[in-house]
Amino acid sequence: MARIRLERLTKSFGNVTAVKGVDLEIQHGELLALLGPSGCGKTTILLMLAGIYRPTSGDIFFDDERVNDVPPKGRGVGLVFQSYALYPHMTVYDNIAFPLRLRKTPKDEIDRRVREVARIAKIEEYLQRKPSQLSGGQQQRVALCRALVKQPDLLLLDEPLSNLDARLRIETRTEIKRLQRELGITTILVTHDQIEAMTMADRVAVMRAGIIEQLSEPLELYQRPANLFVASFIGDPPMNLVSMEYQVDGGTPKLVGGNLAVTLPPEARAGLEQASSRQVVLGVRPEDWRLSSQPVDGKPAGEVYMLEPLGRDTLVDVRVGQQAIRALVPGGAPIRIGDRVWLDWDVDRMHLFDAQTEARLPVAAGAAAQGAGA
């Protein structure tokens, strides 16, 4: 096991800075996901940890030892890629044994360790097959075994599930997570798939353009996104974001815009006054709206523009004037295109962001307030 620390870690390729001064600490036995859109620097961090890329500046520590100058072989790292990169002419057994043979490990020790990881990953019965005779999920488990057989201190997984179909992805992510827990091995998972990051990781670092935007436990990311980027990146279907203006009407704080008006509790004022201007962004997740076919006192009304049945839920596109709002209702709810509906939501389920800095505003949650049609 290893504790990993990154200090001001930076990597430039010519005039492109892929990783910009990242500070990060990963605990013994933790599974941390680096999550973000394509090109945000996730793989570059992973390759610096593996020793394949040298940092341009900053430091990497494994258990307080600075490893910047330690070559890949000396780092005790196991790496698993999206492409399993198995040797097609070798059996599964030989593929897994390969790194140990390179190290000239005694034969009986190799045999013991290959069978042990194969048992843990449940691929014992395939040891004499060639990779082409296995499913994608089984091949991925072989690749994982080949990394684990070296008994690495740190396991690095780069988009390990991307080549699998949806069903196998769910099964394999469960297996990888179980294995990681069982072995207690410090693991870093690189992915652009939020479901993968949220379901597998103890903590998730959301990245954009070479920096970490938020580092939190998965539910915290969803419930308290630190800024507009994280708010719009995490959640599917995504959070509704509406540009609004903050006003104070006779001492009462209000938000107006997008054909919506929200009266906030007085205690919200302190948080709103931290905004750099009166322009704010209201965020409401699709599942946090309540749609009613009956007028709700003082609430905005809209028209159902489109319905998208998803099975368990139906995604309803409601237009309040020009403003599009997407709400989730239970699948099969009696709602039709063209229906007039009233929108309601709880203040303690809404999110507010500074329109300029994009940071989350600390607006008191849990207090009652009323929404009103503009």
- The site for ligand ATP (CB under 6 A) is made up of 13, 16, 18, 36, 38-44, 192
**Minimum distance from residue 115 beta carbon to ligand ATP (Å):** 34
| One-letter identity of residue 284 | V
Cβ 160 to ligand ATP shortest distance, Å: 13
Secondary structure (3-state) at 330 = strand
Provide the minimum distance between the beta carbon of 18 and ligand ATP in the complex, in angstroms, as a whole number. 3
Measured from the CB atom, the residue of 36 and 371 that comes closer to ligand ATP is 36
Helix (H) or strand (E) holding 212: strand 211-216
Other CB atoms closer than 10 Å to residue 238's CB: what's the count?
A: 14
Closest CB to ligand ATP among 169 and 192? Answer: 192
Distance from CA of residue 334 to its chain's centroid?
A: 34
Which CB sits closer to ligand ATP, 43 or 140?
43
337 CB burial (10 A radius; 0-12, 13-18, 19+)? exposed
42/113 with CB nearer ligand ATP: 42
Which amino acid, one-letter code, is at 13?
Answer: F
Please, what is the minimum distance in Å from the beta carbon of residue 221 to ligand ATP? 17
| Side-chain-facing half-sphere of 274: CA atoms under 13 Å | 15
Q: Annotate 286-301 with DSSP letters as a single string.
A: GGGEEEESS--TT--E
Minimal distance in Å, beta carbon 19 to ligand ATP?
7
Please say which residue, 44 or 227, places its beta carbon nearer to ligand ATP: 44
Return d(Cα 130, Cα 167) in angstroms, integer: 23
- Distance CA(161)–CA(165), nearest Å, equals 8
Bond into 237 cis (ω within 30): yes
Query: Residue 22 and residue 41: Cα distance in Å, rounded?
Result: 10
Q: Which is nearer to ligand ATP, 206 or 262 (CB)?
A: 206
**Exposed/middle/buried for residue 71 (C-beta within 10 Å: 0-12, 13-18, 19+):** exposed
Q: Which is nearer to ligand ATP, 138 or 140 (CB)?
A: 140
Q: CB of residue 77 vs ligand ATP: minimum separation in angstroms?
A: 17
CB of 38 to ligand ATP, least distance (A): 3
